A and B are shown apart, each in its own frame.
Chain A
Amino acid sequence: MKRSIKSLSRAYQDQTLGDDEIKDLDQILATDSEAREVFMRETNLIAALEDVAVDESAKEIGFFDRPTDSHEKQRLSKPFWTKMAFGAMIAASIVILLVATVFFSRQAEDRFIATIVGLSGPLQWTGDGGQVRADLDVGMKLSGGTIDGLTHDSWFALVFRDGSKVVISGNSMLAFSDAGQKKLHLKLGTLSADVEPQPEGFPMLIHTPTAVVEVVGTSFEIDTDLESTALNVSKGKVQVMRLSDGNSVEVPSQHQVVAAADQDLSVNHIPQVAYTWRSRLEQGPRRTYGKWIPGSNSVMPRLHCIAHTVKDTGLTIYAVSTQVTAADAAAVMTNPRSRVHVQGRLDRESDLFVGMTLRTRKGEFAGRFQVRLPAKQLGTIGDLDLILPINDFKLDPSLKSMKHQLPDLAHNLVVESLWCHTLYQQAGLSITSLELSEREE
């Protein structure tokens, strides 16, 4: 016979539930709001009884020595002096905690190597000892570790103690440390950096799956995946060593190089910026986020959305995205005539969000701009073929707190990625093409 929610709740608090009963309880709580109310009421009862028990114990071990007879003890369930003693205990413990905080924070200060100066979207930091945190905040000091940008709209900026700044965006993974020499491991994604002059003999080293980048002090951007590392240097110079053969080149200001086993390690001028770009899903899923489905004679290759639940809010986003900063191309920029062309499919009625993640030419995060297309406006479900002028793109409301630091318009900025998503429900979003083009004059 199944136990009642009350019985399960009490047994849970008494820690006498078996594995199967825990699963039962979990399932009931996940689906039944009345059961959750009973659970919370029962838990609250236990919590209050525990408090009373602690108060009573405090009395017995002499936190106050006011004599009481049994009658008075019965009458006063929570004597004034007990409250005072309890309060004093808490106050003492808080004071100790705060003093300890100040003391340890000075020691800990030495361990911190970098401070978060900007962030947006789902991120996860894995620090010393495997500590995992998703509740990151601007101003938080970090003692090294790994930052994961979990979705296309993730963005993270870090400043080291010497003022060197590193920014990652999109689906990225960066491990960083500084024990006298800054060592970064960019396993995936895009990184831009503005590096202060480093101590002689201790350049900043950035390891990627295909190269090691040595930086003395400069501004640059790296885009990496398993097969290649593209480096654009905007200021200063950077040494790059290709791992496949150990060959090195020096990349001066306004030059770029791609380090990949199957390409020449040649240094080229950063070409003029481009204002048009198109995804090429027929070439595979490189630098995309989504489930790539190859095409056939009759069907175009497409990118199906992937669900991601944001832990902070419980919000589930069904998204596809593609990076626009291709390894062997110039920066792709917007201008007032830009427009985004989306082709794909939506199988169920849903609001659709189309957006772009932008940065300045210096590599600074410039925001996410998006268009929300209400289900009614999209009309009948099925094939999507949308052309959206740049002026329709507005700053993502979740960046409201940074509004004053970001451009008002999506013009004249470098496009880092283009993306589409639906919220709350799986609406069967898939994309066959994303394109940035210019309207004719």
Chain B
Amino acid sequence: MNQDQPDQQYERFVSLFLSGERTLRAYTRSLLSSRQEVDDVMQNLGLVCWRKFDQFDQKGSLDDFIRWCCVISRFEVLRFRRSRARDRLILSEEVIDLIAVEAEDRLQRSEAEQKVLYNCLQKLDDADRRLLLSVHTRGDSVSRIAAESNKKPRWLYSKLNSLRDLVADCVLAHLAQGET
């Protein structure tokens, strides 16, 4: 660490990390198969980035910082993956490497997709929105909605898939029009 100005170092790191956290999280998510795994990796990522922060070019921009963190994240993911090597639900290291490189190239695009997604979600009614988010919401689930609404889970899963298509198409359409 830079011992001369530890406070400024610390403040700058926190500022950069907070600003880039969501993008970094999305990047890390593209390399892993569940949010829980991302939580595990992100927990360590903050620490590792802080420990190595003196190696980051202090004149670097937020974009530079995010890209620098992405490289560290990539290694953290690979290390995490190795620790889960017996888990069947993992992609090969070669594929993770390929995706990591390409995901880094599309960081801006990914950010734009995420921003547009919030707008697209506004177009859904409450019920559809709840169904779409249910698989990611603690305490909620498709089967719970099925029980409450007296609808078949299979039908709801099909509907969920359609909603994902709808939102994905909405994002693509907005980006095609140049809206972010």
User: Which positions in A face B, CB cutoff 8 Å?
Assistant: 10, 12-15, 17, 19, 22, 25-26, 29-30, 33, 36-37, 39-54, 56-57, 70, 74-75, 77-78, 87, 90-91, 94-95, 97-98, 101, 132-135, 137, 311, 314
Contacts and interface: CB of A to CB of B under 8 A. Distances in A.
Nearest to A78: B118
Interface of B: 10, 14, 17-18, 21-22, 25-26, 29-30, 33-35, 38, 43, 46-47, 50-52, 55, 72, 75, 78-79, 82, 88-95, 97-99, 101-103, 106, 110, 113-114, 117-119, 121-122, 126, 132-133, 135-139, 161, 164, 167-168, 171
Nearest to A130: B83
Contacts of A56: 133, 137
Given A44-B113, A91-B14, A14 B22 contact: no
23 contacts: A10-B161, A15-B89, A17-B89, A26-B95, A36-B99, A39-B30, A40-B106, A45-B113, A47-B26, A47-B29, A48-B26, A48-B117, A49-B167, A51-B114, A56-B133, A77-B122, A78-B118, A90-B21, A91-B14, A94-B17, A97-B46, A97-B47, A314-B101
Contacts of B51: 101
A88 B34 CA distance: 24
Given A26-B95, A44-B26, A45-B167, A94 B18 contact: yes
B81 to A, nearest CB: 11
B123 to A, nearest CB: 10
Contacts of B95: 26, 29-30
B102 A40 contact: yes
A29 B96 CA distance: 9
Nearest to B115: A48
Given A48-B117, A94-B17, A314-B97, A57 B138 contact: yes
Contacts of A39: 30, 99
Contacts of B47: 97, 101
A288 to B, nearest CB: 28
A11 to B, nearest CB: 10
B50 A43 contact: no
Given A10-B161, A29-B98, A45-B168, 20 more contacts: A15-B33, A30-B94, A40-B103, A41-B168, A43-B29, A44-B110, A45-B171, A47-B26, A47-B29, A48-B117, A49-B132, A52-B118, A52-B121, A52-B136, A53-B133, A53-B136, A91-B18, A94-B46, A97-B46, A98-B10
